[in-house]
Amino acid sequence: ASDIMFAFDSISAKIASVPNQYIAFSSTVMAVFGLRATFFLVHDLVQEIESLKYGVAFIVSYIGVQLILSQWRYFPNWSTCAVTGVVLMMCILASACQKISSRRREHST
């Protein structure tokens, strides 16, 4: 339901800035489909990689702080990509190490 509210909320902003109403509406619909697909993808990945939820929270927080500080400081685009890649790799490695250690504990008992 929140993605539908997001779609209706952004339609008025797009109509004000995009003169072609068909493009404004269709791009909003496609954005909603993309958000839904991304939600299910992230949900499945969080089920598989336990520490991913902490990584996603860190990435979203980093981007928020970067947006706030962008008024006073320039951040190159590659820095966000680098932070995202490093955090995701750390989450994957942490989850893999956690699974390996839990398997070792199971075999030792």
What is the phi/psi pair of residue 73, to 5°? -140, 140
The model's confidence at residue 3, banded by pLDDT at 50, 70 and 90, is: low
pLDDT winner (highest mean) among 35-39, 40-44, 85-89: 85-89
SS3 sequence of 46-59: HHHCCCHHHHHHHH
Q: What is the pLDDT of residue 91?
A: 92
Q: Each residue of 86-97: pLDDT tens digit?
A: 999 999 999 888
Q: What is the pLDDT of residue 75?
A: 87
pTM summary value: 0.63
SS3 71: coil
* Average pLDDT value for residue range 4-19: 64
Q: What is the pLDDT of residue 14?
A: 64
How high does pLDDT run on average in the chain? 81
